[in-house]
Amino acid sequence: MPPPIRLLALDLDGTLVATDDFISEATVRALRRAAAAGLRITTASGRDLEQQVPLLERYALGAGSLVPHFLLTNEAHLYFAEGGAYRPWLEHNEPLTRDWQRLLPAAIAITRSLVDQLGAEGFEARRASSDEFAARRCLIDFTVVGEPAARRAEALLTRAAAEASRELQANCVKGGGERYHLQLTPVTGGKGVILLALARRLGLGPGEILAVGDSGNDRDLLDPGRGFRTATVANADPDIKALVRAGGGYLSPEARGDGVRDIIEHFRLA
């Protein structure tokens, strides 16, 4: 029999949050009931602290209500609710940021080179973010259009990252329409790695954690090898549904926030 779930990790965009940053009242109530029942909750998002806090406060969530108890930001940094505000876990955040600053010049060079190479091969490729954003976000990315371009770009990026440094990892995330984001991040980052760090801090085993996501940048979070319990929502990418299914996880018939509410009810967390 599996252990009880003690920590719920939620991706934001496309999972908890719908278009226009909407979270339904029913979903907010389910989160509050789960927290009142003793469940601890963390976000697991690429959004930074300055984006997450106002979003949560719009729905009377956040540090003051201890829902969520923790924020995972930039797919890299952790914050704990304390005294009505989110305080950084400095022992975790600062070394990771230093590592990324050291790796960033190589990541920028790889990205520029591949955008030029893919353009020369006839693919539409362009930088998606500035160097300043990449430094802050612990991620650098470029976009291509169409699945053939994405397959070619991912292969090139994976090889270039491996040749440049064992400390860089590549990822491909489906965006809107036919656009794909090719990303480089530090191997010490990524939602799954950071969630394991939080679990160790809290004294939890992976089996006591339920991870919920919907798209390519949640693969690391939902990887069966991490040992987390997993679930996803009805609007998730097909490969994410397949990943969750392969790990014996739960596929909600509801989309986005309603799916999160359904997942909370399915696992009897509230």
* Model pTM score: 0.93
pLDDT tens profile 140-157? 999 999 999 999 999 999
**pLDDT, mean of residues 218-227:** 95
pLDDT tens profile 175-216? 888 999 999 999 999 999 999 999 999 999 999 999 999 998
Please report the pLDDT score of residue 134 as a whole number: 94
**pLDDT, mean of residues 28-51:** 97
Please report the pLDDT score of residue 177 as a whole number: 84
**pLDDT, mean of residues 160-182:** 91
Any idea which of 28-42, 43-57, 173-187, 196-210 has the lowest mean pLDDT? 173-187
Does the N-terminal peptide bond of residue 68 adopt cis geometry, omega within 30 degrees of 0?
Answer: yes
> Which has the higher per-residue pLDDT, 241 or 165?
241
pLDDT tens profile 98-117? 999 999 999 999 999 999 99
Q: Mean pLDDT of all residues in the chain?
A: 96
Full set of structural domains in the chain with CATH: 7-75+190-266 (3.40.50.1000), 97-186 (3.30.70)
